[in-house]
Amino acid sequence: MTGLKDTKINKVIKLVFASILLIAVGGCDIIKNSNLMDKLQQEPDPSSSLIMSERGFGKLTKGEFMAAQSLFDEALQNNPRDVYALFGKGIVLQHSGQLDQARQVFEAIKALRPNNDQRLLVINDLAPQSLRDLAALNSSLLESQGVTSAMGKSSPRVDVPGSFGPPGNPGLGQSKNSGVSPSIVPTAPTRSNIGRSASMMPGTSLADANVIKRFETLQKLRDQGLLTPAEYSLRRNRNIGALTRLTAKSPAAGLSRSVPEAVQITQRLKAIGRALELRAISVRQHGAERTMIIDGLMPARPTISEPPAVAPKGLMSAAEAVRRIVMLKERKLISEAEYVREKAAIEKILTPKTPVVAKNTSKSPKKASVDSGPKPALHLASFRSNKAATRAWSQLKRAHRSLLGNLRSEVNRVNLGKTKGIYYRLIAGPFKSGSEASAVCKKLKARRQYCDAAFIS
């Protein structure tokens, strides 16, 4: 094994490894139609595999993948534990698009636990890198490859001199002439992230669930240090209109589309970050893919914005709009100030305007209009059952008879998502105005009773 560390083999490997080769050629006896781990138990013949591995890397530098495959296969027949031949085999498998099998090879290298003396040169770095680390990195990149393709179909052209291989690969490196950043493969999103947002928050529309999922993912990227606070604020503030529809600028178009899970996105960003640390990809490549992933999640400067939101009409739409912003506040997706502004905007739209009444000369005056729509009210408590909420109303009415004695109650069922579940909110009202409701609410709080503004039918 240690013979591969001499100057000659390092020069060969230096030209090979930096590429992310997605290829695998058919007829892989060590991989196909056999158990790889069983093969690894065979008695090794290092002396004979060493020469074959060196020749295989030589063929790879010339782009002769079929010939390289044959040499790596021969080396592995003689010594199935030859980690260099396995790594070359993984590169060949990546190049042919047999990504699952390539990942199996890199996982096998990790299982063999190469020692620290077993290293490879990466084209962007003069210092040799641990073969075990490089295998783990390529395995991680292969596993997270679907994120980039799901977040966008193209990216800025990147010229990477000194490496080779076809475009569209998720491993380390890039095509010499393709000019495309790593892993940009226009494919359909994986099955795992289609429709999962809908089940995340029962009772929430798929479109709104996808929007909420994007904001929650953005928070997680910030919390894990994958996004700076400045980047987070810029992207959130530009698109907050997707949450507070009536009081903020229209967000970027397309935020209601499905998006990969947060864990998939963080895994991919960490993988390309690690690749940059090992200098397996350039700063320019890393920046291009990172920007495309984050822009695909929530763009800072969108070229197309959503049309202005339609204000709620009618009692049911208004009640749903209020419940929605309450849920967003409880999930810490909007601030208290944003919540107050949005709620006030809903209330302003739904407050009936004073009608202009024409003078009536008849003896029997007619009523100007019938007041309709939701009225200001108070949210007094939340319970796990309708029965508990109804029972609590009787107790609260007795305890605060001077404030609540002339009001009626209403119990609203709300769904706060998978983590919190279903609650039943006790609402009391109506009041003639929001200011009157606020005054009573202030008195209740002074008595240590929970209270918040709401609406009642």
Q: Which domains does the chain have, with CATH numbers?
A: 2-143 (1.25.40), 197-297 (no CATH), 373-456 (3.30.70.1070)
pLDDT score at 159: 29
**Which region among 67-71, 147-151, 366-370, 420-424 has the lowest average model confidence (pLDDT)?**
366-370
Answer with the residue of higher pLDDT: 118 or 323. 323
Whether the bond into 376 is cis, omega within 30 of 0? no
> What is the phi/psi pair of residue 363, to 5°?
-70, -35
pLDDT score at 17: 37
3 state DSSP class of 412: strand
Give, in order, the Cα–Cα distances in Å from 189 to each of 105, 146, 148, 151, 177.
Answer: 25, 7, 10, 9, 27
Measuring CA to CA, which residue among 102, 65, 286 is closest to residue 183? 286
Measuring CA to CA, which residue among 104, 138, 107, 103 is closest to residue 120? 138
d(CA 213, CA 356): 46
H helices of 96-173, in order, are 99-112, 131-143, 145-151
Strand partners, 428: 378, 409
**Which region among 203-207, 268-272, 334-338, 349-353 has the lowest average model confidence (pLDDT)?**
349-353
Q: Name residue, tokens 């967000």.
A: 251
pLDDT score at 124: 52
Determine the average pLDDT of the residues in 286-306.
Answer: 92
The answer to whether residue 6 scores a pLDDT higher than 60 is no
Answer with the residue of higher pLDDT: 159 or 236. 236
**Cα 454 off chain centre by:** 33
The answer to whether residue 239 scores a pLDDT higher than 70 is yes
Confidence category of residue 38, pLDDT binned at 50, 70, 90: low
pLDDT score at 228: 94
Q: How far apart are the first and last CA of the chain?
A: 79
d(CA 360, CA 130): 93
The answer to whether residue 393 scores a pLDDT higher than 80 is yes
pLDDT score at 42: 53
Determine the average pLDDT of the residues in 342-366.
Answer: 64
**Which region among 19-23, 131-135, 225-229, 299-303 has the lowest average model confidence (pLDDT)?**
19-23
User: What letter does residue 356 receive in the DSSP assignment?
Assistant: P
- Element (DSSP H or E) covering residue 378: strand 375-383
- Distant-in-sequence, close-in-space partners of 445: CB < 8 Å, separation ≥ 6: 451
The answer to whether residue 284 scores a pLDDT higher than 80 is yes
- Per-residue pLDDT tens for 58-96? 887 788 888 888 888 888 888 888 888 888 888 888 888
pLDDT score at 274: 85
Q: Name residue, tokens 């490997």.
A: 13
pLDDT mean across residues, the chain: 74
For residue 332, count other CB atoms closer than 10 A to its CB: 10
Determine the average pLDDT of the residues in 32-50.
Answer: 56
The answer to whether residue 358 scores a pLDDT higher than 90 is no
**Which region among 12-16, 78-82, 102-106, 265-269 has the lowest average model confidence (pLDDT)?**
12-16
The tokens describing 359, both together, are 């003078």
Evaluate if pTM is beyond 0.75. Answer: no
The answer to whether residue 348 scores a pLDDT higher than 60 is yes
pLDDT score at 44: 58
Determine the average pLDDT of the residues in 24-42.
Answer: 43
3 state DSSP class of 204: coil
Rounded to the nearest 10°, the torsion over CA 116, 118, 122, 125 is 40
